[in-house]
């Protein structure tokens, strides 16, 4: 890997659904923004994030609005529209101060706005692709209007996503997400409990209904964690899902730290209930559930570009059993850090082989391939290439 040479000033423009800070319960994009910031800061870059005031970052915080929207999905109210507009205007003003080498965005609307705003002084714009390829619409139309000379570059987060976005203008090499391994507690097999874990937004795409089916076929206790967003289809899915759930309990607002296992987890696990929904939990709590689980189930029903759940679970030494959809086959090593299956029948069968998975292999795999350091180094290398290209273009135009 090429090591960082030139120190640069990077401005990330954050999304607003949740604050950008460590240990979020649910906030996948904000978690990625935080991790990139932490990695760039450690490499010696000047990392700035334009974000809400309730964020807590490692680098420099440039506050644009007082508070994030708190909900990951909510009605697009007039107040939110005004806050978003203020965020974009102030972010653009910061970008044009003359000290920014690279602008890094994570949202299509923000990317288009900033791109139009800096067109006369073309600072390179990097956009991490959190956009599913099947979401045809304004993003695709905008991308088709770009040319290879446009100063906006798109980073796929998996080889699967890169293939799905075939033909995307200025698509770059894949950069997988990374996490801070030291922030994830490890458990060997001797510390595991006999339950399966499923975490994610409660929606049909995540396959919680399939997880329940697998648990019942194997006679396993299943713990389901995740938030139910204010979407009609998600609320309807959860209403139907509850018919198969034996216990619903809010375990996310009670104890934390060392008390959490004894006062919350153990009573739940000892309840003799098989299918248990524990609501939305915070980052520290989900790590406790990861590390004690026999396995994490990931029976997704769509092509997820990158599931942070996969690397978080493996970092805790817990194998993942997933359907072979999206990026799962390139993140999990089948038979070594979990199992990638094509059917419920195969997933049930793989449960008998979980004891063959060494938790140390799971953690080592994350360390070798999905660390913050690795991710930040790859972004740093891309930034330098783009900055060098920009310098050459400016010299040529003189």
Residue 396 has pLDDT above 90, yes or no: no
Give a yes or no: residue 2 inside a domain.
no
What digits encode the pLDDT tens for the residues 159-182?
999 999 888 889 999 999 999 999
Whether pTM > 0.75 for this model: the answer is yes
Looking at the structure, tell me whether residues 164 and 186 fall in a common domain. no
Q: Are residues 354 and 381 in the same domain?
A: no
What CATH number does residue 220 fall under?
3.40.50.2000
One domain for residues 20 and 78: yes
- Token couple for 83: 């806050």
In 3D space, the residue among 325, 303, 310, 369 whose CA is nearest the CA of residue 165 turns out to be: 303
Is the same domain home to 96 and 201?
no
Q: Model confidence over 45-58: pLDDT tens digits? A: 999 999 999 999 99
Contact 12, 29 (CB under 8 A): no
- Taking residues 296-306, what's their average pLDDT? 95
Instruction: Establish if 4 belongs to a structural domain.
Output: no
Is 312 inside any structural domain?
yes
> If you average pLDDT over each of 102-116, 219-233, 280-294, 311-325, which comes out highest?
311-325
pLDDT of residue 76: 73
Are 174 and 187 members of one domain?
A: no
Q: Are residues 196 and 140 in the same domain?
A: no
User: Does 313 lie in the same domain as 248?
Assistant: yes
Share of the chain above pLDDT 90, in %: 72
Give me the mean pLDDT over the 121-139 stretch: 82
Does pLDDT of 253 surpass 70? no
Q: Is residue 301 part of a domain?
A: yes
**CA dihedral in degrees (375, 377, 378, 382; nearest 10)?**
140
Decide if 204 is inside a domain. Answer: yes
Confidence of residue 24 (pLDDT cuts 50, 70, 90): confident
* 3, part of any domain: no
Do 130 and 243 lie in one domain? The reply is: no
Instruction: Taking each helix axis as running N to C, give the angle between helix 208-218 and helix 232-241, from 0 to 180 degrees, rounded to the nearest 10.
Output: 10
Q: In total, how many domains does the chain have?
A: 2
Check residue 191 and give its pLDDT: 73
Domain shared by 122 and 18, yes or no: yes
In a domain, 342, yes or no: yes
**pLDDT, average across residues 313-336:** 97
Same domain for 165 and 230:
no
Query: Is 56 in the same domain as 174?
Result: yes
1 assigned to some structural domain? no
Q: Are 229 and 72 in contact (CB under 8 A)?
A: yes
Q: What are phi and psi of 96, to 5 degrees?
A: -95, 10
Of 145-149, 279-283, 287-291, least confident by mean pLDDT is 145-149
Beta pairing class for 247-248 and 46-52: unpaired
What's the domain range around 389?
Answer: 9-178+371-397
278 and 379 both lie in a single domain: no
Statement: residue 252 has pLDDT above 80: no
Model confidence pLDDT, tens digit, residues 330-386? 999 999 999 999 999 999 999 999 999 999 999 999 999 999 999 999 999 999 999
């Amino acid at each position: 890997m090429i090591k960082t040479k030139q120190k640069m000033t990077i401005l990330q423009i954050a999304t607003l659904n949740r604050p950008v800070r460590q240990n979020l319960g649910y906030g996948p994009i904000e978690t990625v923004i935080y991790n990139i910031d932490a990695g760039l800061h450690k490499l010696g870059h000047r990392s700035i994030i334009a974000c809400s005031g309730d964020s807590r970052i490692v680098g420099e915080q440039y506050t644009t609005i007082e508070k994030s929207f708190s909900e990951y999905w909510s009605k697009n109210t007039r107040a939110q529209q005004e806050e978003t507009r203020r965020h974009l205007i102030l972010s653009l003003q910061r970008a044009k101060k003359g000290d920014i080498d690279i602008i890094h965005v994570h949202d299509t609307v923000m990317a288009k706005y900033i791109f139009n705003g800096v067109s006369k002084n073309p600072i390179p714009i990097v956009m991490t692709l959190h956009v599913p390829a099947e979401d045809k619409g304004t993003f695709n139309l905008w991308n088709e209007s770009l040319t290879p000379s446009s100063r906006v570059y798109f980073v796929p987060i998996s080889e699967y996503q890169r293939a799905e976005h075939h033909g995307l203008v200025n698509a770059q090499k894949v950069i997988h997400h990374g996490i801070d391994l030291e922030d994830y507690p490890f458990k060997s097999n001797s510390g595991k409990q006999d339950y399966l874990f499923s975490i994610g937004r409660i929606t049909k795409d995540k396959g919680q209904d399939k997880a329940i089916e697998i648990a019942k076929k194997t006679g396993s206790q299943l713990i389901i964690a995740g938030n139910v967003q204010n979407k009609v289809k998600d609320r309807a899915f959860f209403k139907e899902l509850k018919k198969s759930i034996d216990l619903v309990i809010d375990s996310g607002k009670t104890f934390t730290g060392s008390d959490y296992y004894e006062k919350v987890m153990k009573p739940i696990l000892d309840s003799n209930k098989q299918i248990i929904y524990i609501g939305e939990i915070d980052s520290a709590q989900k790590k406790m559930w990861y590390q004690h689980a026999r396995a994490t189930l990931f029976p997704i029903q769509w092509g997820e570009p990158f599931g942070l759940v996969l690397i978080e679970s493996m970092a805790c030494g817990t194998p993942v059993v997933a359907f072979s959809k999206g990026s799962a086959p390139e993140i999990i090593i089948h038979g070594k850090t979990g199992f990638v299956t094509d059917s419920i029948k195969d997933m049930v069968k793989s449960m008998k082989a979980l004891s063959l998975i060494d938790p140390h292999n799971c953690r080592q795999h994350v360390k070798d391939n999905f660390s913050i350091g690795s991710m930040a180094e790859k972004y740093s290398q891309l930034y330098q290439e783009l900055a060098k290209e920009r310098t050459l273009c400016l010299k040529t135009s003189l």
